[in-house]
Structure 1
Amino acid sequence: MPSFLFATLDAGGNLAPALGIARELLRQGHRVRFLGHATQAAAVEAAGAEFLPYRCAATLDPAVPAPAHRQFAAMLNVFSDSGIGRDLVEEARREPPDVVVVDCLLLGAIEAAAKAGLPQVVLVHSFFAYFDGPFRHGPMGAALSLKRLPPRRVLGRADRVLVCADPLLDPAGSWDRVSWESDPDRVVWSGAVVDDVVPATAAGAPGTAAALPDGGSPLAELPDGGTPPRVLASLSTTAFPGQQEVLQKILDAASGLPVELIVTTGPAVDPASLSAPANASVRRYVDHSEIMPGCSAVICHGGHSTSMRALALGLPVMVLPMHPMMDQHMVGKAISNAGAGVLLSRKSSPDQIGAALTALLASESQRKAAAFIGARLRSAGGARTGAQVLADLAGLVSVAG
């Protein structure tokens, strides 16, 4: 059976699509190895894949708060890191895989794999319109070009570019693909990787009084004897400037509303630094796959992985982008344009957030749009489709060899 070697990085939600595809490959009997930052070992091994830590990689700890210019410099160092490329090529030579799969952010590793002649798939974990648009044209793309790693040229060296996004939400899904380099078939959409999602209507209707995994307090009862809708708020495991302030505004917005709010801070924010009203709880970590099925809405920063998981469950999404240079605004705008959520500024006041949340929970059209998109995301089988793209390329390589 073919074997696959993934190269990834600890950048938050970028790992989830790779793991979803890896689990499908393992289910089919293929061998899967991951090269990554040491902090990713537990997640990779829990998926059943082999994990190898980088030996020559630049350091990266996205959970440590830092000024914007230092965050930019740290990301640029990792994206262009030749050490990751050396580790990838050395591991591929030690035990040759049929195909290497490289995260689209690792431009240095993609270039190294191409120079070494390795059959390669670049895995895009969000909208292709972002990576071939604002990312390529913005400050990061300019900085990478100065390092002789212009994103479009580097991605164009891959045998395939696998986009783990819904082509109807991704603005690039409607682009004229002939205009992308010389091979319009190089870019392939698998759909969002949400194959493990069970729709909320099957797991328990949104707003039901499902207990928290850690035994959290029961839901407060409404005057009519019902229970308030549950809302999950999460603003990434990556530390962004102002993240604590936005989380506090979300908590303040929920005060007095007939909702139960669960806030997960991740490693970047200390839960003790936040003040929660009586109808809210703050935890550093709760498994979103266990909590989301009992929710009625999700508040997030527009990270592609969290946003698509919520939509796959048929949940409307409120997006407050935390970083102007990332894909978050584009994801939020796509959700808003599809009628399945609302896009707000991180500068919104608690009153504005509260009013938007109240309207979102009351909107039947938003729920129906989210349910419609969710059915499409689940039926696409992103992990299965992605695994098939990799297996097909491995078959072509085998025939050519």
Structure 2
Amino acid sequence: MTQAEAARRFRMKSFLFATWEGGGTVAPMLTVVRKLLHHGHRVRVMSDACNRFECEAAGATFVPWTRAPSRPDRTPASETVSDWAYEGAAGLQHAIDVVWAGPALAYAQDVIAELEREPAELVVTSEMLFGVAIACEAVGQPFCYLAANISLFPIPGVPPMGPGLAPPRTEAEVALHAEMRDGVVALFDHGLPAINTARLHLGLPPLDHAIDQAEAAQAVLLATARAFDFAPETLPAKVRYVGPQLDEPAWAQTWVSPWPPGDDRPLVLVAFSTTFQNHTAVLQRVIDAAGELPLRLLVTLGGSIDADALRPADNCRLAANAAHDAVMRASVAVVTHGGHGTVTRALAHRRPMLVIPHGRDQNDNAARVAARGAGLRLDPTASTSEIRMALRRLLSDPTIAEAARTLGNAVAMERETSPVVELLEGLVLANDRTDLCLAG
């Protein structure tokens, strides 16, 4: 063994990633996985069975959930979370029941079994999977959160998630934010009985609030850009921005324009959720609105909508999926539901957006785009004529394009200079030093 090989082997660490098929939850994780593999580390990924192909394509060892929920495929019929069928906060409560907290004990048992089979020096988990954090705390396993979006849990100085609030400007708005922050804590406490049941089963004391589970994590890494978020001047000690993690998913197809080379009409990409959010009617109104405009419209369906459910206009083409980086390079604007991955990718390409949020964190992403003037925001009930007016403005207003370039430059810089690998390696090294001190 050469000296260089010995040094590389000495540096190799073992990471276990834990995530779930929640649309935008997988690709950012796998981007970080790829980076760690590139640095010579060993990485396993626990996720739904349907994610095997993309995990192995990234070079990781794949481990499916067995006790915990595990989607066999990415078709709408196998969707675990149908939050679109609920009104308001009930949608998030449904997600908490069926994935985030309800099966916490099952997730915890799967993780403990995998760690017994093969230890890891650090577990990296989605902040949505309470059971993974419980398992790690129960067996003394170092772990951190890697959030594929802005923080779902309240952070002092950041508007609470949900309705898409901008930073407060008045004392009344400050009071409203505080009240809503308490509401977010209470909303997550919907899962507290299941969380505490899992904790008691594994010998841990009960929590007062569900979000208190984060205290056991070594770090909370936010895979978004500080420039995109409504970031406070000072973050809590454990929280760090690591920039958007935006590798293309392995299932994304190479994009070749279906239009003749001489067609110089501007291209607009329509990219909504890869999970079903009952958004067929909205997509159709976007298609109808753009049908009367001098542009080309590419609609990527992402596996969540059947092409037969839509009526494309003459200037519209439907694609099951396509590599969005390539499409965005050729486009002038993006119409999206406001998923974090699509929004930050569009910004990294300096593209203005029309955001039509449906729920989850999408209202909050839309608020951040609109507050910086980098795009427009419409309600999902917007009419065809309202969407057409917004598209006309998006394509003709130079101030929106300039704002998208300004914000996009900052987002792209944070993407390119992400410290995520160094931070994860630092957590492992800190644990190594602690073990040495204890052994001494």
TM-score (norm 1): 0.86
Letter in 2 for 1:337: A
Structure 1: gaps (5+ residues): 178-183, 197-211, 222-226
- Out of 360, 374, 377, the position equivalent to 1:343 is 377
Q: Which range is displaced more, 140-149 or 90-99?
A: 140-149
Query: Counterparts of 1:20 and 1:269 in 2: how far apart (Å)?
Result: 25
Q: What residue number does 2:413 align with?
A: 379
Q: 1:167 to 1:89 in 2, by over 3 A?
A: same
2:432 aligned with 1:369, yes or no? Answer: no
**Counterpart for residue 232 of structure 1:** 269
Matches within 5 A, 1:145-294: 145-148=192-195, 150-171=209-230, 173-174=231-232, 176-177=234-235, 184-194=236-246, 213=255, 216-218=258-260, 221=263, 227-241=264-278, 243-294=279-330
| 1:293–1:62 CA distance, 2 compared to 1 (3 A) | same
Aligned to 2:161: 134
**1:301 matches 2:337:** yes
Q: Distance in 2 between matches of 1:219 and 1:68?
A: 43
- Shift of the 102–397 alpha-carbon distance from structure 1 to 2, 3 Å rule, reads same
Cα deviation, residue 141, structure 1: 1.1
Verify the 8 A CA contact 1:11 1:62 in the aligned structure 2: no
Deviation for aligned residue 1:275? 0.6
Which amino acid is 1:304 matched to? Answer: H
Structure 2 unaligned regions, length at least 5: 1-11, 163-180, 197-208, 249-253, 436-440
Residue pair 2:47, 2:70 contacting (<8 A) in 1 also: no
Q: Aligned partner of 2:240: which letter?
A: V
Contact 2:46 / 2:64 at 8 angstroms: preserved in 1? Answer: yes
Within the candidate set 55, 74, 77, 2:98 is matched to: 77
Partner in structure 2 of residue 16 of structure 1: 27
Residues of 2 paired with 1:282 and 1:195: CA distance?
23
Alignment match, 1:30: 41
SS in 2 for 1:321: coil
Render the CA deviation track for 1:292-330: whole Å, top value 9, x for unaligned.
11111111111001100010011111110112xx11001
Give the letter aligned to residue 290 of structure 1: A
C-alpha contact 2:75 2:303 (8 A) present in aligned 1: no
**Structure 1 stretch 150-159 or stretch 128-137: which is displaced more?**
128-137
1: CA distance, partners of 2:296 / 2:226: 34
Alpha carbons 2:225, 2:415 under 8 Å: kept: no
Quote the Cα distance in structure 1 between the aligned partners of 2:96 and 2:48. Answer: 14
Decide which moves more: 120-129 or 134-143: 134-143
Deviation, structure 1 residue 220: 7.1
Q: Which moved more, 1:90-99 or 1:31-40?
A: 90-99
Structure 1 residue 116 corresponds to structure 2 residue 163: no
**Could you tell me how far apart the structure 2 residues matched to 1:23 and 1:337 are?**
33
Q: Deviations over 1:244-273 (max 9, x none)?
A: 000000000101201100011222211111
Q: Which has the larger radius of gyration?
A: 2
Q: Matches of residues 79-94 of structure 1 in structure 2 within 5 Å?
A: 79-80=100-101, 81=103, 82-94=105-117
Cα distance in 2 between the residues matched to 1:251 and 1:370: 23
Cα offset, 1:229, TM superposition: 1.0
Kept in 2: contact 1:126–1:164 (CA 8 A):
yes
Q: Which amino acid aligns with 2:100?
A: F
Between stretches 26-35 and 280-289, larger displacement belongs to 280-289
CA distance in 2, matches of 1:153, 1:24: 30
The 3-state SS of whatever aligns with 1:147 is helix
1:397 aligns with 2:414: no
Structure 1 residue 94: Cα displacement? 1.8
Counterpart residue type for residue 359 of structure 1:
R
Q: 2:393 aligns with which of 359, 362, 372?
A: 359
**2:31–2:247: 8 Å Cα contact kept in structure 1?**
yes
Instruction: Tell me the distance in 2 between the aligned counterparts of 1:331 and 1:345.
Output: 13
Q: Secondary structure at the match of 1:156?
A: helix
Deviation at residue 337 of structure 1 after TM alignment: 0.4
Equivalent pair of 2:96/2:188 in contact (CA under 8 Å): no
Change (3 A) 1:74 1:381: closer
SS of 1:128's partner is coil
Once the two structures are TM-superposed, the CA of residue 129 in structure 1 deviates from its matched residue by 5.8
- Structure 1 counterpart SS, 2:277: coil
Distance 1:194 1:240, change over 3 A: closer
Describe the superposition over 1:311-364 as per-residue Cα deviations: whole angstroms up to 9, x where unpaired.
0011111110112xx110010010010111111101111111111111111122
1:297–1:361 contact (8 Å) kept in structure 2? yes
Aligned mates of 2:336, 2:75 — CA distance in 1? 17
Q: What is the one-letter code of the residue matched to 1:363?
A: D
Which residue identity does 2:232 align to in structure 1? Answer: S
What percent identity do the matched residue pairs reach? Answer: 29
1:262–1:281 contact (8 Å) kept in structure 2? yes
Deviation of residue 381 (structure 1)? Answer: 3.8
Asked if structure 2 preserves the Cα contact closer than 8 Å seen for 1:311 and 1:374, the reply is yes
Over 3 Å counting, the alpha-carbon distance change for 1:234 and 1:384 in structure 2 is: same
CA spacing shift, 1:111–1:250, aligned 2, 3 Å: same
Q: Which moved more, 1:39-48 or 1:123-132?
A: 123-132
> Structure 1 residues 18 and 131 mapped into 2: Cα distance closer, same or farther (>3 Å)?
farther
SS at structure 2 position matched to 1:168: coil
Query: What is the distance in 2 between the residues matched to 1:281 and 1:167?
Result: 35
Q: Structure 2 counterpart of 1:190, which letter?
A: V
